[in-house]
Amino acid sequence: VNAVSERTWLLTLKPGDDVGEPLSFRFPKPTELVAKTAFKQYRDADLVEVDSELALAGIVLGPAPIWPWIAGCAVVVLLGLGAWRLAKLDDGQATVPVYRVPDICTPFAVIDLLQRIDADRPRALAASHRDQLQGIIRDLERIHFAPDTGQANGHGELQAIARDWVGKVS
């Protein structure tokens, strides 16, 4: 007759004061009298079998990889550059002025058109044309709005001036 005996032990092990922060836990080796050992640990209220050495939970065992941060920053930079270029293209297309000859050419409408052309400073206009444009604006203001001149009838001339300058900047 052989006696069969099974004992369950519950041990709580605490590290010494001089150990520091251990990264893994090693169960103590049993004596030679023990025939079979099983190392177990509680996980989610269940008892599971583990190796004699296991990593402690909650402690980072190695440094975190840096490549995800680099890849994430690269993606953010590329998205930013793409958005900037897209915004720049939209600004370039939006700032191209389109000038149209007014349907009814009054001195107010033509002078307003010429002043908008002068203020926008289109690249197609040379410096001599700009000086000529400013001179025409001054002449129209003097002819139509000066207090010492009589009523000027220049509606036909106004339409020709407006067509000429819209043609130069288009």
**Residue-range definition of the domain harbouring residue 144:** 107-169
The more confident residue out of 64 and 62 is: 64
- Among 8-12, 34-38, 146-150, which range has the highest average pLDDT? 34-38
- 98 part of a folded domain: no
Beta bridge partners of 47: 42
- 120 part of a folded domain: yes
Number of domains in the chain: 1
- 111 part of a folded domain: yes
Mean pLDDT of 56-73: 80
For the chain, give the mean pLDDT. 80
Q: Look at residue 109 and tell me whether its pLDDT is greater than 70.
A: yes
Mean pLDDT of 107-135: 85
Q: What sign has the CA pseudo-torsion 14, 16, 17, 18?
A: negative
- 99 part of a folded domain: no
The more confident residue out of 1 and 44 is: 44
Q: What sign has the CA pseudo-torsion 119, 123, 125, 127?
A: positive
C-alpha to C-alpha distances, 166 to 24, 111, 124, nearest whole angstrom: 82, 13, 11
- Give the pLDDT of residue 142: 85
Least-confidence region, from 17-31, 33-47, 128-142: 17-31
H/E stretch holding 157 reads: helix 155-169
- 135 part of a folded domain: yes
For tokens 């908008």, what's the residue? 116
- Among 62-76, 85-99, 153-167, which range has the highest average pLDDT? 62-76
- 116 part of a folded domain: yes
**d(C-alpha 19, C-alpha 24), whole Å:** 12
CB atoms within 10 A of CB 100: 9
State the pTM of this model. Answer: 0.43
Beta-carbon contacts of 141 under 8 Å, excluding residues fewer than 6 positions away, are: 111
- 48 part of a folded domain: no
- 30 part of a folded domain: no
